[in-house]
Amino acid sequence: MDFAYSEIQQNVRDAILKHCEQFPDEYWLERDHSGEFPEDFYRSLADAGWLGIAMPEAYGGSGLGITEACIMMQAIAESGAGMTGASSVHINIFGLQPIILFGTEEQRKRSIPNIVAGTDKACFAVTEPNAGLNTTQLKCRAEKKDGGYLVNGDKIWISTAQVANKMLLLARTTPLDQVKRKTEGLSLFYTDLDRSKIDVKLIHKMGRHAIDSNMLFIEDLWIPEEDRIGEEGQGFKMILHGLNPERALLAAEAIGLGRAAIRKAAQYAKERIVFDRPIGQNQGIQHPLAKCWAQLEAANLMTMKAATLFDQGLDCGVEANAAKYLAGEFAFEACHTAMLTLGGMGYAQEYHVERYLREVLIPRTAPVSPHMILNFLAEKVLDLPKSY
């Protein structure tokens, strides 16, 4: 049992933190105001080769694991880039795992190098307005035709669809009432985001304004058969392979954001003088911040355990979900505590912690709620009856 980073892992963390110094807090505040995608940040990471950290070397990647990817994404968020910076490259890090695992060699060569190079931007089109986390109830229909599929349906909360040119789409190819198991009949596609057939509507939201979230209205989208990943009707199983690494990555990002908030708060507490002494000298300020630090470090241990298990090819569902739960809850508390530490200034945008608080609600809520994670843990760890 070794809790120390390897030399490669430490180099990843140091290099990313150094790289992110080019993009200070003011850069991210401007993006939050304008809602403009951080293209220069995205391009800088692509040009430096970071987008392929967890992709195979045969397709232009670095061939490292989800553990190293977690370290990278955590450092991005921790730099002050928060969820905006992390989300700008999140899909590149793990999103094409189904193609690596289930795609053909031709599909891998066609898709992965462009994602690694940053010439393609992809979005993850799975969730739907009326299905929520009940993925087996997806209604978006891909009807088989000669040479391909004709797709109609709606998707919601699709990040980066305003700037993406590709999408990983999960759609129903066999009606639910015609399959033996409810997990069957869904197929996975990696295809062009054809805006002549897809109406992309921006969802105005509370935070992370520079990374768009959208509804997709798909009408008669043609997808050639060569864009289907793996066997028809088995898309749900393929998507499951990406859930645990995504949980770990989101946990790492949340922890990074929590650390950024605590750093800001501690610095302010040392400098803010009230009643002739720094407020950081008061235990009423010290104890909540110290508690948040300890909680974040505990969540980080679970996160790294989950990522390490995944990279070893071992089951990590419990650990990945526990990591996401702990990181989401503790990062939220860290950002809230930071805002309270700054008092009225914590509500001012120029001090950045209010932005952190708005952004931390994303990993606390999505892509799976803390309540559903507790349901999962109760069933899988405590052997309690399934509640949903």
CA distance 94 to 233: 22
* Under-70 pLDDT residues of the chain: none
Q: Which two tokens stand for residue 71?
A: 């370290």
Q: What is the pLDDT of residue 13?
A: 98
Instruction: Spell out the domain ranges in the chain.
Output: 7-117, 122-234, 240-380
8 Å CB contact between 86 and 77: yes
C-alpha 194, offset from chain centre: 24
pLDDT in tens, 270-293: 999 999 999 999 999 999 999 999
CA distance 149 to 129: 22
Superfamily of domain 240-380: Butyryl-CoA Dehydrogenase, subunit A, domain 3 (1.20.140.10)
pLDDT in tens, 15-36: 999 999 999 999 999 999 999 9
Q: How far is CA 21 from CA 17, 93, 249, 303, in A?
A: 7, 21, 21, 25
CATH architecture for segment(s) 122-234: Beta Barrel (2.40)
- 7-117 maps to which CATH number? 1.10.540.10
Q: Which residues fall within 8 angstroms of residue 338, CB to CB, at 6 or more apart?
A: 261, 262, 264, 265, 289, 292, 346, 353, 356, 357
Half-sphere exposure of 203 (CA within 13 A, CB side): 18
Q: Which of 64, 76, 126, 137 is nearest to 98 (CA)?
A: 126
Q: What is the pLDDT of residue 136?
A: 86
Q: What is the pLDDT of residue 135?
A: 87
Q: Tokens 């089951």 map to which residue? A: 315
Q: What is the pTM of this model?
A: 0.96
